Structure 1
């Protein structure tokens, strides 16, 4: 199975690196729709979670759109993950804007430890890289992927710029 994942990843990487950006975004949205349509298991899990979180405060249509947008977000993040492989510090910093950093900068200056908690929200793979580039070395906690070969690729990307996994 690892060989299949690796093949799909390299095809995806080729697609991301050599397709025009406008076309890439449209195709990623199309692939997200295909994944949404075929992935009954995770679509159901997302639906159950939305029902628990929002009960009847969101309509069926709104919940369905949130789930579709989640599939898009995952593919957009995967494409950015590919683009971040081998990126320079300047390229990483050009993708982010930090606001209200005074508390973090003060903690670093006074050699205090900082714990940042986050979830898979926004471009989470970019966050640790950007913090390490702009402020200081970072240690992150994450679980290994089920695929050893894909885990190696993920770890290599995450460990750029003084990020320890």
Structure 2
């Protein structure tokens, strides 16, 4: 069977309007089958399967294991011995597999049962910000189970819009969007986000952004992250400064048996009397510091496989081209 387009429309940005191919259809069938299997299975079984998947990912994907170890070196230096770094990386891969399975399983949660799986700290910031009337910017990371964090807020009737990248498979894209919005949340896709983000803030909604990865956008800035100048998006800080919108950081940390602690920081308020560029740097640095504290507390649950320090002010970081010992 050849992978020929079923439709003749010109190719578009990933999402529901993209060309549908036979490969997309086969992937979609596999996704639907797997989703049904997850929904029919108990959580403990899905976590066990996730552990196996994560272990296989760690064992057979040497390239991403090496990236994770290099990131550990950059973050912790000599503060952690080599054997501990190797074990932490292994646990991070296993957690990633578990979180992947949990994300699908947790879609069955509703307003009656979701509190069995979460403990929440720091919700008052949401109510204070929404009473202020200028929306709220929720800054999170690829840490713990970030999809569960968003779904829980929706079930708590927090008016949340989440920024996301479209799924490359247009059929799976539609299914994933259904999962992300069934708790009442909206999705804003990054390739056409600016106007919608501003509109939602003016509606006094919470806009969630995951801002912990290397940034390729020409408007990126550089900011200290674990002692290294790393790229960052200025978007949250710029919106906060321009519209007087407060920010809050939120992370989900596993606490055992498929349960998570959802912890939210105190509100971060922009200073309208400070010069814009200076204030954007200050806010972005504060967001980085919140994530640093969370990673230092429990490093296992961050997505270490991403080349977070790929770009430096001088250009591409050559460290990822080096060979790192893996065990």
TM-score bracket, shorter-length normalisation:
0.7 to 0.9
Aligned to 2:194: none
SS of 1:141's equivalent in the other structure is: strand
Aligned to 1:122: 144
Aligned to 2:182: 160
Query: Are 1:80 and 2:97 matched, yes or no?
Result: no
SS of 2:163's equivalent in the other structure is: coil
Change (3 A) 1:38 1:15: farther
Quote the Cα distance in structure 2 between the aligned partners of 1:25 and 1:118: 23
Aligned to 1:17: 39
TM-score of the two chains, using structure 2 as the length reference: 0.45
Per-residue deviation, 1:59: 2.0
Could you say which structure has the larger radius of gyration? Answer: 2
Query: Are 1:68 and 2:90 matched, yes or no?
Result: yes
Aligned to 1:51: 73
Structure 1 unmatched runs, 5+? none
Change (3 A) 1:29 1:164: same
Higher strand share: 2
Query: Is the 1:93–1:133 contact (alpha carbons within 8 Å) kept by the matching residues of 2?
Result: no
* Aligned partner (choices 135, 140, 160) of residue 113 of structure 1: 135
Aligned to 1:139: 161
* Aligned partner (choices 11, 14, 27) of residue 49 of structure 2: 27
Aligned to 2:63: 41
Structure 2 unmatched runs, 5+? 1-22, 188-327
Per-residue deviation, 1:4: 5.2
* Aligned partner (choices 81, 84, 97) of residue 119 of structure 2: 97
Q: Which segments of structure 1 move beyond 6 Å, counting only runs of 4 or more?
A: none
Structure 1 window deviating more from structure 2 (95-104 vs 45-54): it is 95-104
Change (3 A) 1:51 1:150: farther
Change (3 A) 1:129 1:27: closer
RMSD after superposition:
2.4
